[in-house]
Structure 1
Amino acid sequence: MTAAFVALGGAVGAVLRYAADLWLRKHSHLPLGTLVVNIVGSALLGVLTGVALDEPTFAALGAGLCGSLTTYSTFSYDAVQLLAEGRRPTSLLYVGLTVVAGVAAAAGGLLAAQLLV
């Protein structure tokens, strides 16, 4: 039954990631869609980790929604693609920003949850 909750959350997260990426790529020369969904997903997972959720709810929202909303493979591809285009400084900035902002967002979300609960 837990797998069904993960699948449901995953379906929603995947569609949200796809829509956000399509919209944000039209407005930036950077892989902004991937960057934004990874930061938002990290923050949300931090909050969910800090809140006492039952297993099915955490499976749906944490593993499912956040797991499919965020994307390491697309992040990696985008970084390599920037390098292939000769945009090394942009690629390095993108990688650094994604890692630092993602970890900071997760920590911030966890802290926010702990303060609110």
Structure 2
Amino acid sequence: MPGPSPSKAPRPVHLRWEYVGLVMLGGSIGTAGRYLLSTALPAWQGVPVGTFVVNIVGAFALGLLLEALVRRGPDHGVRRILRLLVGTGMLGGFTTYSSLAVETDGLITGAQLWPAFAYGALTLIVGALASTAGIVAGAAGHGWRPTRAAFLAKRHGGSR
């Protein structure tokens, strides 16, 4: 017996207009938020503080959101809508690694090598730490506490 015909198979999420629309709406909101925050925070000695803050806040928020969603269940219904609208859309539009690259290049072109290096490196390092903190915060809301016994049980496939 043949499987479902291609016309009857559900379309992938990235090809469904209602989900694409959610990402577009969220992206518009996130981009506007980034613009407002980055223009409200002036550069400090040529370093774009606004972009730095946007990327760190966005990394934390994305870690928190995705961890909280995954702990609440499978990616369906409201969880999928939140992930696409807020995660992919708003936070994807809010954060900006393309601006990080352009602004770092501008600092290098302006012969500000140390500020360029510090800005780029700190954005990546602090961003990784912020996303990790967001994941931990998202997990903490669900009673997750890392323990040595849990780590060993997972690592060795059983309990000790």
TM-score, normalised to structure 2's length?
0.70
Partner AA of 2:124 in structure 1: V
Number of corresponding residues: 116
Q: Name the structure, 1 or 2, with higher relative contact order (CA <8 Å, separation 6+).
A: 1
Counterpart among 25, 33, 48 of residue 8 in structure 1 = 25
Unaligned runs of 5+ in 1: none
- Deviations 1:11-51, CA, capped at 9 Å, x for gaps: 110000001111112x5231111100000000000001111
Percentage identity across aligned positions? Answer: 30
Unaligned runs of 5+ in 2: 1-17, 70-77, 143-160
Computing the radius of gyration from Cα coordinates, the structure with the larger value is 2
Instruction: Select the structure that is richer in helix.
Output: 1
Partner AA of 2:44 in structure 1: S
Contact 1:10–1:68 (Cα < 8 Å) also in 2? yes
- Give the whole-Å Cα distance in 2 for the aligned partners of 1:57 and 1:107: 20
Report 1:1-117 matches (<5 A).
1-25=18-42, 28-29=44-45, 30-52=47-69, 54-117=79-142
Over the aligned positions, Cα root-mean-square deviation in angstroms equals 1.1
